[in-house]
Structure formats: C-alpha cells, structure tokens
Amino acid sequence: MCKAGFGRSGKALDRRWEQLLGDTIAALATAVGEAGVSVVRLSGPEAVTCAARVFRCSRLESLAEGRPRRVYYGWLLDGPGGRRLDDGLAWFSRAPHSFTGEDVVEISCHGGVVASRLALEAVLRGGARLADPGEFTRRAFLNGRLDLAQAEATIDLVQARTGAAFDAARRRLEGELSRRVSSVADRLLGVMAEIEARGDFPDLELEELEPPQVSRELRACMEALRELLAGAEEGRLLREGLRVVLAGRPNVGKSSLLNALLGEERAIVSAVPGTTRDVIEEGLVVEGVPVVLADTAGLRESADPLELAGTGRTAAALRQADVVVFVIDAGAGWLPEDEAAAAALPKTPVIVAVNKSDLRRWAPETAMIERIAGGTDVLEVSARTGQGLGALRQAIARAAGVRRREEPMLGTVRQKHAVERAVASLETAAAAVEGGVSLDLAAVDLREAWGALGEVTGENAPEALLDEVFSRFCIGK
Amino acid sequence: MAYRADNYDVVVVGLGHAGVEAALASARLGCRTLAVSTNLENIAFMACNPSIGGPGKAHLVREIDALGGEMGLAIDATFLQMRLLNTGKGPAVQALRAQADKRAYQAYMRRALEGQPGLQLRQAAIEAVLMDGGRVAGVRSRTGVEYGAKAVVLATGTFLEGRVITGEYAYSSGPSGQLPAQGLSDDLRESGVRLGRFKTGTPPRVDGRTVDRSRLTEQKGDERPRRFSFLSHPVPRPQLSCWLTYTTEETHRLIRENLHRAPLYTGVIEGAGPRYCPSVEDKVVRFADKARHQVFLEPEGWNTTEMYVLGLSTSLPEEVQWQVLRSVRGLEEVELLRPGYAIEYDYLLPHQLDLSLQVRGVTGLFSAGQLNGSSGYEEAAAQGLAAGVNAARQVQGLGPWMLRRDEGYIGVLLDDLVTKGVTEPYRVLTSRAEYRLLLRQSNADLRLTQKGRELGLVSDERYRRYQERKAEIDGLRRYFAGSLAGPDTPLAERVVQAGGSPLRRAETVEALLRRPEVGVPDVAAALADVAAADRECLEEAVLEVKYEGYLQREQQQVARFRRMEERHLPQDVDYDAVMGLSTEGRLRLKAAQPASVGQAQRLEGVSPADIAVLLVYLEQRRRVRSPGQGMEAPADGQ
C-alpha cells in the first residue's frame, strides 16, 4: 500500500514530514490552464502500482505488467475500479533509471484545467500523495540524479514555493471550508477524548461507550464531510469556471461584446440605455479555461427603482468577479459616467476594452486608465467587426493564469484529498466499531482521520487530544 | 576542609525510584558505583500513592523488567493487591496495577542494593557537582566530603529546594517530612544548567480503624493475580482490598468556603501543577457542576492501619482538611494521621538533555526522574535505568544507548521529555504512544529482552525464560495456522454457542480466532493441544492473530517513522552555515542538537521546509566528504 498513513503523533504536517522520502508522490508536470495535453507524473516505489489502479491499458491486464519506457494507450479512471474519465497514454521507468532515481510514471491526457485536475485527483485516489513544492527535484537530488551545483537551486525552490503555499494555506484557513472542517474535527476529537479517557483513566466512573452511539457519531462526521466535498467552494472556479464580468456605463456595447465573444445572440441588445437589467451569464471556454461571462446592467445612478434593483445585482456580480472587462465606447470617448462606473470596480484584475474602435480611433489617456482600479491591459476591440476579439480572449486567459497559479489549485486538491482520506478512515473505524472491534483499536483510524482533517485546518497538535481529555473529565488523585 | 574520600566510576545522587534503578544498572554493567541518599531509611520511598502500574505505567514497569531492572520484581514481592485494568477493552490499554506494601517495598529495594556487588551505599547530602573543564569530576557533600566520579547521575526527585505548603504554613522540606536538598540548585545554575519550578501535591493519610467500611464499596484484587516481572511465578497470595466512597455536597461547600485559605488560590504556590492529578479544591472549582467526586481508600501496608485517601489531594489548612475528610461518606469519624500538602521543587528543564539523559555540554553529568520534570515512580525508574546504563557506558567508552518511540514507552518518555520539553509534571499515557498496539505491556519481554541481553543487564535465567516464552508463542501461532477444526469438533460447537454462524467445512483455528465471538477461553477449553499452554503465552498468541491487521498497519507506520529516525544528524553540524533554514528553525536546531532528522522534525518551530533543506544539506555534505559517490554523471563540477 502506498496510501498515506498517519502517525499518531504529529503537528499539522507530520504526515508530510514522515514521508519526505520514500512514499509515492504525484503532481501535474505541465502548467495548469493551457489547452492541449496535460501530464500527470508519479514518483516513488509504488508509482507503477498506484498508476495501474487508475489507468487501464487497452492491451495489458495491468500497466504493472508492461515494459519500462514503452508507451501504452488506455483509459484513465476516476478512481480505482471507477468510471472512465479520459483516454490517454502512459509510460513508466524503473529506479534508478529515471530523473528522480525512483520508479516514475507519466500519464498524458487531455489538457485544460478541469481535465488535468481530474487526472491528478484520480492518481491520488490510486494511492499517491500530492507532491510538495519542489519535491520531485529534491528527490532527484537526494537520489544522486542532480549535481551539487543544483542543490542550492533546489533549496531556493523549496523555500520560495513553500512560502507561497503557506500564504495560500493561511488564506484558506480563513475560508468557509476550513471553518466547517474544523467543526467536524472538533466533533471527532470529542469522540476520541471519550475513548482515550476511558483507556488511560480506568478509575473514572464513566458509563461504557456503546458501539452504536460511537458509530452514529462517526457516521454523522462522515456525512458532514461528504456534504462539504459535494458543495465545497473550492470546486466552484474549476467546476463553473472563471467569472468574467463585463462592466461599464450603459450603452458602451457590453451585450454586443458578450454576444461577439459567444458567437451568437443571447442578450437583448438595444440602443436604449439600461435595457439589460438582469445579469446575463453565459459559459464558454477561452484558451482551455472554462469561463462564465456575465453582462451587467449599466453602473449608472438612476431613479428608476427597477433599474436600481438591477444595479444592486450588478454590484453583487462585480464582487464575485475573478476578472472584469471594463468596456469604454471609443465613439463617445471618456464621459463622467465612465468615471463613475470605474469608481465602482472591485480590486480584481481589470481588462480595459475600448469598443467600437471600428468607428473611431481613440485611446484613453493614461490618467483615465489609472482611475480604473487594477486595469493594465488596454485593448481596442469591435464587437461589430470582431476586430481584437482574439486578443481579448488571450487577455482573459492571461488574467486567469494570474488568478490561478499552481499553488492555490494544488492547495485545493490537497484539501479535498485530505477530506477524502478522512472520510475513508472514518468509514473503516465505523465499520470496525459496528463489527465489534474494541474502541482503542478503532482509535487508530480515528487518529488518521483527525490527522487528515488537521492538514486542512492546521490544528492537530498531539497535545490537543490531551487538552480535550483534561477539560472534559475530572481526573485526579 | 574538604577531603577526598574515594574515587568511583559512577556516583548516583538520590535513592528514590530513579536512583535505585540507576545505581543497580550501573553496578550490574560492571562500574564501581556509589549511591548516595540524604537518608538511607528512605530508599525507594513512595511519597504519594502506595501503588504501581496502570495504563502506560505498567508498560514502563514491564519494559524496565525486560531490560533487567528491579521495579517489577520488587512490586511482585511486596504487593498487597493486584488487578488487571481495562480487561474489557483492547490490548493496547490493558494494564496491571498493584497496591504496594510501602515499607516492604523499600526493604526489598534496600536488600537488592545491598546484595549488588560493586555498589556502595552512603548517607550524605550532596550540595555540589565537581567539574573539571566541561567534564564531571565528582560530587561534594555538605560535610565537605568529595567523591571522585567519571560520571554522575542526579536523581534528586522533588527534594531540590523543596518547599511544603499546607494552608497558611510553608517551610523548606522534602516530601513527607524529609530533609530538602539545598545548595545543589545554585551549584547547578553556576554550571549553566537551567532550572524551573513545579508543584505537586498529596492527599492526607488516615487511620483505617476509624473508617466505616460498611458504608464503602469494596474493591478486591483479581482472583488469579498476575505479575509484573517476566521472572516471577504467579502463586496465590492473600490480598487487601481498596475502598471506594464519594465526596458530598458538604465537602464541596467546605472547600468553596475555604478557598481564600487555599495556597493554590492565594498565590502562595507559584509552580505549575499537573492537570492529571489536580487537588480536590481544583476539582471542585473547575468541575463545579459535578455533584460528587470519587475517593478511594488504599491500604499502605500489612503492618499498618494507615490508609491513603486517593482523590483528596489538598493543601488546604489542616483544620479544614479534618472537616473535609469527615464530610466524606464513611469517614464521619475518621482520624487524620498526616495532613495532605503541596510541594514545590526545582526541576531541570529537560530539553537541556540529550536522549541518553546526559546534560548537553557537561560530559558525564546525567539526570533522571522527577528532577527532569516527570512525575510518577514508574517514569522515574525508567529514566533511572536509562541514565544508569548511559553513565556506565560512557565510563566504559561505549556509545549512548536509547530506545526509539516505536520500541517502547521508555523511548516515548525520553523523547517527549527531551524533544518537547515539559510545561507540567509529565506523566506517561497510552495516548502519548503513536504505536501503542505494538507497545503492549504483554509483549514487553518480546520487544526488549534481547536488547537488555546485548546491553549486559539480562541474566541467563531471564534470557532462558524469554526464549521459552517466545518459542511457546511461536509454536501456538504455527499450531493455529496449521490445524483445522471441522464442523463437528468441540471448537465449532463453542463457536455456535457463542452466537457465531455454524461452520460449513473445516477451517483453520486461525480463521476461527479472527471471528470476534471466538477467544482464549474457547480454544483453551476446546483444544486439548492448547489447554496445557501457559495462559499468558496463549493470550499473546491469540492477540497476535486477532489483531493482525491493525498490528501490520502500525508496523507500516513504524517503517515510515524509522526512515527519518535512522537519518543520523552529526553533532558537528553548524546550523548557521546551512543555507535556507528559517530563522526559528535554525534557533531550535541549534539549541536542541537533535540526534536524527526524525527528532529534528518533532521540534516545535522546525518546519517541513527546514527538514527538506536539512536533507539536501546532509546529502551535499556527504558528497563533499566522499566525492564521487552517489553520482552517475561525471563529478567534474565539484
């Protein structure tokens, strides 16, 4: 088994510490978000086994029976014994004849954010652990595959990227997911404290824990975690796509631009200001990145209550935006209304699209751009002729790349994987308790579950359990 | 005028539970050993509860025993009650506990010390450790006598600058009216050793003749009492009972009304106390909604009516203690023999030690027991054994000896103390052991006798017994795996009687044992080949079968754990020269000088990135020292 176990001691990252060497790791070898092909790479003693669990070869019983350095066609499954996800190619090389000096597998499948993420998740379900930043390189060095001069570069890499990951982790700590995981972890800790107190302090007159009561509690924890997995906010970006909001004063041609990008008529296009009262959303794929494009009602002060309602929704849409395309009418130039609309922009990346550039050659002055929060890219486009639309698509994809660097994405996969492992450990524990196994044995799995949740919340110091025991029970001589 | 009395290999200061094991281990390993106590009447004195064992603690006693220590034999010879706790629970938490005849236990230990060749006892109050450069040279007593030593083990317990507090009264004292150890603290500080201050307490003792047992619940010993030592033979023996009663509303009212006189709340006591044995005043305050608290009356010996009142640890004024005692059911007429008290004492901040319990930077100075911030006789004895062994090995020019966390509770204890440090008196608990299914009290001999033998502490007799037991357990395992039980056999009938599904065809005994409803009594009763087996060997063999899956999982965890533990960290690493370490990680590593990468990663403030950097550094260093190794590419870049 190369599935990650968890030692019973351990600060938040103990599991990763224990496994700095020798277990099997996986990561995307290609950059996220680009079209074409993405490659998932595994390294470690169980690399071939883990890959074989989720990659079914067309001609072999198992990838493990294949020969090194031969390429095999097959299907990637969404988990061991799961359904087909994608077709692709796989090859492996055996230690020490690989760049890390360990067994290495590479699986190529279709590119794009969603496809590559699903592929990575699949091999994690196959039993690999998500690699730490710089870990492939580090292993290569430790296994004698890199020369001495490269060692320092490795250290820089580890330091720099762990720092970034830490920032991302801290941001997530403040997030909803972490809070909800914490509440489950606390509940689980309560069960563990009840068990430990009875084992370590047999003189306490505590009523025996009834197995059905314990398993009910564990199943409730599992249920809560499964709900989290199903509805986790982290999945939104990737599942629903990057939220791109078209903003600007009324009648600058936002709806026309939306339609031009979509290639078909969807929104009501009208020359009367304020026709688009609702936020209109459309999905499309831009340069391999799934995007939700939203057109907003004009951000204009209005006495019309109906229009004000729309403006409220617009404001809400802007708050949720990952990228804003701020549209200006080249024909009209920079108006006070543009100024007001620019002032309402959130602090997200902004692309400035100068529309109707087929009618008049006009470029905003630097001073105007500076008043548009976060605006850096200025593009001339024409919704009518299609001029500049390619550049706009590329700018959106670039902005997406800014929004979605590697770490945050790995972070979310890591969290999700941790919660999945917790659910699996809880399932084992609950089944054991229901099967009559004594509670101190089931505690092995509870510790693993709790440790996995601790990777999300950052709270699993070994002392926490004792703190819980001492705060719950009156122990003493 | 100081005069030089004699020279020894090892001097042990203090003869409590740590000192006794340290002195015996040192002498048994062939070192000329002097063991010093301020009072030779008080060797191996149980200053608090008259009992040994319990979860975690029993594990330690059995490990000490497997390594050739004395504690297990001593309690087996002198117990007045023996119980196996947690029998209804899993194998990790089952634990023996004995009530001891305190005086008999001390007499046994004194005889053991006096019977040990190469060991000399001496009554003296040590007030200075003699140094020669960075090396220990001996000790000096209050009366000016110097004893030369190549190694010194300090095992001063709660005696260092001891201060006893009862109510409004506080005075310098060791536990139970003994002399405190004064002067040594200052001397240690002068050598650069840093000390902290802890507090602990003990309940009053009462006259058993004045206890109304008819109002108490009797708690008897086991009918077939087991033994701690793998050398002892379980022979039936009369036992004494303990008695359970409860505090009342009146008790709690009395305590609440007198809190203003409780040193814990008036600020008289400054030291940190242990959470797992709070005083009764603490319990009443912190668990205010609890209507009653348990009180156990434990006999202190066959030849005394004195009883220990477990659950009423207190430092309230003596007159309040009287009232509190008499408010407890069954104690309405009780006579107080000795009041409870709190005691404050100096302890040595244990992160100054290395894993062999040697003070870093002072070659030959070892420290063991409550002095290191632990609590409990068993924790003390375990450290004493380790310190005695390491003192002897150092004198003999051998490398340090230690156990890892996956090898024994002793390893957990030492690593916790040294690597994590303490914020309250440290007590061992099964929940502190990561691999507790593997570290059972029932297999301590199987885990550690071989190591003890290699150390030189295990006698021929003990080694033979270990081999016999191991062979019997292995034989039973083979028998379980190789023998079939058909549907008509007695074992199959017992399976059905126990509510299991009937056998369709013959199955191995092993397969049947994996069923939850089948256990030791079934195989013992139904299989003639097994009936004659030693009961504890049979239990062990059955346990190994029943819990095989869990045991294997812990073994896998251990394998991962060991990879980092076995990555040795040289003591000459200059952490300032390691590029890329975080500031905090660097400070912690410099201060702790961990022995392995595994130990380094358990240090507070050392991040995974620091460990990754350290691994890369170690590899760089290795290659520089032995160029050309570990590289496939031409090493011309170096």
Sort out which chain A residues have CB atoms less than 8 A from B614's CB and list them: none
Size of interface A-B (CB pairs under 8 A): 183
Inside any domain, residue A115 = yes
CATH number at residue A372: 3.40.50.300
- Our measurement of the distance from residue B5's CA atom to the centroid of its chain's CA atoms, rounded to an integer in Å, reads 34
Are A365 and A416 within one domain? no
- Judged by a CB distance cut-off of 8 A, whether residue B56 touches chain A is yes
For residue B618, the distance in angstroms to the closest alpha carbon of chain A comes to 9
How far apart CA A215 and CA A212 sit, in angstroms, is 5
- Stated as kind and residue range, the H or E segment containing B164 is strand B163-166
Q: Could you tell me if A181 and A200 lie in one domain?
A: yes
CB contact under 8 A, A144 and B630: yes
Q: What is the end-to-end Cα distance of chain A in Å, rounded?
A: 45
Which range among A99-113, A357-371, B25-39, B392-406 shows the weakest confidence by mean pLDDT? A357-371
Same domain, A272 and A344: yes
CB A41, CB A106: distance < 8 Å: yes
Which domains, from first to last, does chain B contain?
205-343 (2.40.30.260), 460-554 (1.10.10.1800), 566-623 (1.10.150.570)
pLDDT of A5 above 50:
no
- A274 with A360, same domain: the answer is yes
Q: Are A439 and A212 in contact (CB under 8 A)?
A: no
Q: Is residue A468 part of a domain?
A: no
Which of A98, A138, A143, A200 best probes binding to B when mutated, by most B CB atoms within 10 angstroms? A200
Average pLDDT over residues B311-319: 94
Q: Which of A103, A122, A147 is the last residue of a domain?
A: A147
Helices A439-457, B548-565: axis angle to 10 degrees equals 40
A2 residue type, one letter: C
Q: Are residues A308 and A420 in the same domain?
A: no
A13, A154, A474 member nearest B283 (Cβ):
A474
What CATH number did the domain enclosing A75 receive? 3.30.1360.120
CB contact under 8 A, A465 and B431: yes
The last residue of one of the domains, among A359, A374, A399, is A399
The interface predicted TM-score (ipTM) is 0.88
Mean pLDDT estimate for chain A? 75
Strands (E), B41-144: 51-53, 79-85, 95-100, 119-123, 126-132, 135-141
Q: Which residue of A has its CA nearest to B201?
A: A477
With contacts defined as CB-CB under 8 Å, which chain B residues touch A439?
89-90
Q: What is the pLDDT of residue A283?
A: 62
pLDDT tens-digit profile of B168-213?
Answer: 999 999 999 999 999 999 999 999 999 999 999 999 999 999 999 9
Residues A111 and A225 in one domain: no
pLDDT at A31 (0 to 100): 63
Burial A314-336 (b: 16+ CB within 10 A, else e): beebbeebbbbbbbbbbebebee
Helix (H) or strand (E) holding A173: helix A149-173
Q: How confident is the model at residue A130 (pLDDT cuts 50, 70, 90)?
A: confident
C-beta atoms of B602 and A20 within 8 A? no
* pLDDT at residue A20 is higher than 80: no
Contact A148 B620 (CB under 8 A): yes
pLDDT at residue A337, rounded to an integer: 83
Asked if residues A31 and A117 have their Cβ atoms less than 8 Å apart, the reply is no
In this prediction, residue A182 has a pLDDT band, given cuts at 50, 70 and 90, of: confident
Q: How does DSSP classify residue A206?
A: P
- If asked whether residues A266 and A389 sit together in one domain, one would say yes
Query: What tokens does A471 get?
Result: 């705060």
Sign of torsion over alpha carbons A15, A17, A20, A22: negative
CA distance A459 to B134: 42
Question: Looking at A354, A377, A399, which one is the last position of a domain?
Answer: A399
At B346, is the secondary structure helix, strand, or coil? strand
Alpha-carbon distance of A273 to A251, in angstroms, equals 5
User: What single-letter amino acid sits at A83?
Assistant: R
- Structural contact between residues B491 and B526, judged by C-beta atoms closer than 8 angstroms: yes
Q: Do B580 and A466 touch (CB under 8 A)?
A: no
Domain membership flag for residue A378? yes
Q: Do A438 and B89 touch (CB under 8 A)?
A: yes
Q: What's the domain count of chain A?
A: 3
For residue B248, give both structure tokens: 């009342």
Q: What is the DSSP string of A447-477?
A: HHHHHHHHHHHS---THHHHHHHHHHS----
Mean pLDDT of B398-426: 95
Phi, psi of B169 (to 5 degrees): -105, 130
> Which residues in chain B are closer than 8 Å to A20, comparing Cβ atoms?
564, 608, 611-612, 615
Which are the contacts of A121, defined by CB distance < 8 A and separation ≥ 6? Answer: A78, A413, A416, A417
- Report helix, strand or coil for B277: coil
Instruction: Give B132→chain A minimum CA distance, Å.
Output: 40
- Pairing status of strand B33-37 against strand A72-77: unpaired
Question: Of the candidates A158, A198, A444, which has its C-beta nearest B613's C-beta?
Answer: A158
**Whether residue A379 sits in one domain with residue A253:** yes
Q: Is the pTM of this model over 0.90?
A: no
B10 near B151, Cβ under 8 Å? Answer: yes
Whether residues A244 and A368 fall in one domain: yes
Q: From start to end of A250-383, where are the E strands?
A: 280-286, 289-295, 323-329, 350-355, 375-380
Residues from chain B that touch A17, judged by Cβ atoms under 8 A, are 564, 601, 608, 611
Q: How far apart are CA B224 and CA B222, in angstroms?
A: 5
The C-alpha atoms of residue B521 and residue B531 are separated, in whole angstroms, by 9
Looking at residue A416, which CATH number applies to its domain? Answer: 1.20.120.430
Tell me: do A291 and A206 sit in the same domain.
no
Closest C-alpha to B391, from B149, B592, B599:
B149
Nearest to B516 among A5, A200, A435 (CB): A435
- Residue B309, amino acid: V
Q: Which of A227-241, A440-454, B51-65, B318-332 has the lowest mean pLDDT?
A: A227-241
Which of residues 464 through 503 in chain B touch A, CB cutoff 8 A?
Answer: none
Report the residue of chain B nearest A8, measured CA to CA: B434
- CB of B294 within 8 Å of a chain A CB? The answer is yes
Does residue A476 lie in a domain region? no
In a domain, A416, yes or no: yes
Residue A28 falls inside a structural domain: yes
How far is CA B523 from each of CA A58, B491, B508, B509, B595, rounded to the nearest angstrom? 51, 7, 12, 8, 47
Asked if B2 is an interface residue toward chain A (Cβ–Cβ < 8 A), one would say no
Q: What is the pLDDT of residues B9-59, one digit of tens each?
A: 999 999 999 999 999 999 999 999 999 999 999 999 999 999 999 999 999
Q: What distance in Å separates residue B619's CA from the closest CA in chain A?
A: 6
Q: Which chain A residues contact residue B633 at CB under 8 A?
A: 147
Pair A275, A374 in one domain: yes
Q: Is residue A387 part of a domain?
A: yes
Residues A431, A391 within the same domain: no
In a domain, A282, yes or no: yes
- 8 Å CB contact of B631 and A144: yes
Q: Is B622 on the interface with A (CB under 8 A)?
A: no
Whether B623 contacts chain A with CB within 8 A: yes
Q: Determine the structural domain holding residue A284 and report its residue range.
A: 238-399
- Alpha carbons A294 and A380: distance in angstroms, whole number: 20
B 352-411 residues inside an 8 A Cβ radius of A:
405
